C-alpha cells in the first residue's frame, strides 16, 4: 500500500504532541472543579484562566472576552441565536451569506421560523462577498450580521474589516466564523471590527470537543443553555479544563508562527498547483491565490468526478466539492452559490495542507492525482 498523504486539514487537524503533553499534565495534576473554593479547585481555575489568555492572545482580545465552548458549532449557535434574542427588541432583520457553514446557516433558518427576516447574500464568482451587497441589504430594523472570515471549501478570505465598518456605522452586531482562519492567517478582532468571533479547536491542532467564542466587551448575549453560571453565565456546565488547556497550548504554539507557516504553505500550495497544471492544462482554480487561505487549493478538472479521482489516487486523503448520493452527484451549496457550471463543479477537489505537510508529500500526491485523472480519462 502507498504511504498515506493527508491533505484534508480543513476538515480536521491532528493533535500536536505539545498539546497532548499539556492535556495529559492537566488531567493528572489539575483535575479539580474550577468553581470549587479550595486549593484543588483554585489550581484548576488558574490553569483555565491561563488557557483563556492564550486563546485571547492569538486574536488580539482580552481574556475576559473569551468564552469556552464545545467547538465551532456551539460557538456559532451561541453567537447567532444568543445575540439575536438579546437584541430582538431593536428589530427583526438579519443578514448572512449563502456560503456559510451549516452551523451558521441552520441557526438563521431556525430564526426565520421564529419570525425573523433573513437576507442571504450571494458571493461573487471568486467566492468573496462584496461589502456593498451587505450594505445594500441593510434595513432600518437590521440588528445582526454574520459573515465567515474564510470559507471552509474554497478557502476564500472575506473582506471582514470592511463589512465590520459598515455594521458598526449602522449599529449592527457583527459575527464572523473564523474557524478556518485562526492559526492560518493573522487574526485581530480590533482590526476586523467584529463583535463576535468563532474558534474551533480541532481546526488548529487541538482536540475535538473544545472551541471558543470571542464576545466583545459590552456586547450582550442570551444563553442558549440552562444550568449554573460558568463562563460569564453564557456556557453553563463544569469547564473541561484539560481540553481548554489543550486549546490554549495550540494557540500559544501557533501565535508567533502564523506568518512562517503561512509562507511555507503558500509555497507548497503553489507547487502542488503547478504539478497538477503541468499534466492538466484545463485545470480550474476557483479562487485566486491572493484571496485564498495559504493552505487551501480548491480546483477541478473539467470532465472528471472529484470523488472518482480521489478514489483512484490511492492514499491521498482530501475532500470533494460534490457529494455522491444514490448514484446522483450533488454539488456543494458553496459552488452553487458561486454559480459554478455543474460540469466543472462535479470535478471539484479541495486539497488543504497543514503545518506537518512537506514537499515530498506534495510531489507524491500530485503524481498520484495526475495518474488517477489520466486513468479516468481513458475510460
Query: According to the model, what pLDDT value does residue 210 have?
Result: 98
User: What radius of gyration, in Å, describes the C-alpha atoms of the chain?
Assistant: 21
285 strand-pairing partners: 299
Instruction: From the candidates 145, 245, 251, 324, give the one annotated as an active-site residue.
Output: 324
Average pLDDT over residues 301-314: 94
Q: Where are the alpha helices (DSSP H) in 39-130?
A: 39-58, 72-86, 102-113
Q: Give the whole-angstrom CA distance, residue 70 versus residue 209.
A: 5
188 grid coordinates: 485581530
Q: Give the whole-angstrom CA distance, residue 121 versus residue 179.
A: 20
CA distances from 75 to 53, 66, 145, 179, 339 (A): 18, 11, 15, 10, 29
Band the pLDDT of 323: cuts 50, 70, 90.
low
| Domains assigned to the chain | 17-255 (3.40.640.10), 257-378 (3.90.1150.10)
Is residue 324 part of the annotated active site? The answer reads yes
* pLDDT tens profile 233-290: 899 999 999 999 999 999 999 999 999 999 999 999 999 999 999 999 999 999 999 9
* pLDDT tens profile 132-179: 999 999 999 999 999 999 999 999 999 999 999 999 999 999 999 999
Taking each continuous run of H as one helix and of E as one strand, the counts in the chain are 13, 15
Return the DSSP state at 257. Answer: T
Average pLDDT over residues 352-371: 98
Amino acid at each position: 500500500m502507498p504511504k498515506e498523504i493527508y491533505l484534508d486539514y480543513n476538515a480536521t487537524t491532528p493533535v500536536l504532541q505539545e498539546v497532548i503533553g499539556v492535556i495529559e499534565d492537566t488531567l493528572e495534576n489539575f483535575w479539580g472543579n474550577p468553581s470549587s473554593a479550595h486549593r484543588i479547585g483554585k489550581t484548576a481555575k488558574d490553569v483555565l484562566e491561563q488557557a483563556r489568555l492564550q486563546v485571547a492572545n492569538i486574536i488580539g482580545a482580552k481574556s475576559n472576552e473569551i468564552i469556552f465552548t464545545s467547538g465551532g458549532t456551539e460557538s456559532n449557535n451561541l453567537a447567532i441565536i444568543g445575540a439575536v434574542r438579546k437584541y430582538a427588541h431593536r428589530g427583526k432583520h438579519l443578514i448572512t451569506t449563502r456560503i456559510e457553514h451549516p452551523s451558521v446557516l441552520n441557526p438563521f433558518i431556525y430564526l426565520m421560523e421564529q419570525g425573523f427576516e433573513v437576507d442571504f447574500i450571494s458571493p461573487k464568482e471568486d467566492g468573496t462577498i462584496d461589502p456593498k451587497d451587505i450594505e445594500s441589504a441593510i434595513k432600518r430594523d437590521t440588528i445582526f450580521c454574520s459573515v465567515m472570515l474564510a470559507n471552509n471549501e474554497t478557502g476564500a478570505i472575506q473582506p471582514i474589516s470592511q463589512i465590520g465598518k459598515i455594521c458598526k456605522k449602522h449599529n449592527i452586531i457583527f459575527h464572523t466564523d473564523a474557524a478556518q482562519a485562526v492559526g492560518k492567517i493573522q487574526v485581530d478582532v480590533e482590526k476586523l471590527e467584529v463583535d463576535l468571533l468563532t474558534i474551533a479547536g480541532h481546526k488548529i491542532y487541538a482536540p475535538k470537543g473544545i472551541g471558543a467564542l470571542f464576545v466583545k466587551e459590552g456586547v450582550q448575549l442570551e444563553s442558549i443553555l440552562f444550568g449554573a453560571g460558568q463562563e460569564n453565565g453564557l456556557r453553563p456546565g463544569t469547564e473541561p479544563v484539560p481540553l481548554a488547556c489543550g486549546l490554549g497550548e495550540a494557540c500559544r504554539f501557533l501565535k508567533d508562527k502564523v506568518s512562517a507557516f503561512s509562507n511555507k504553505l503558500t509555497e507548497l500550495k503553489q507547487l502542488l498547483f503547478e504539478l497538477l497544471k503541468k499534466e492538466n492544462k484545463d485545470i480550474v482554480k476557483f479562487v485566486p491565490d491572493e484571496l485564498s487561505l495559504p493552505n487551501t487549493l480548491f480546483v477541478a478538472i473539467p470532465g472528471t468526478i472529484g470523488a472518482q479521482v480521489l478514489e483512484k489516487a490511492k492514499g491521498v486523503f482530501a475532500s470533494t466539492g460534490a457529494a455522491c448520493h444514490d448514484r446522483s452527484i450533488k454539488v456543494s451549496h458553496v459552488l452553487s452559490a458561486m454559480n459554478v457550471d455543474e460540469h466543472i463543479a462535479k470535478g471539484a477537489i479541495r486539497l488543504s495542507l497543514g503545518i506537518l505537510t512537506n514537499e515530498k508529500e506534495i510531489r507524491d500526491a500530485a503524481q498520484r492525482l495526475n495518474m488517477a485523472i489520466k486513468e479516468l480519462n481513458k475510460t
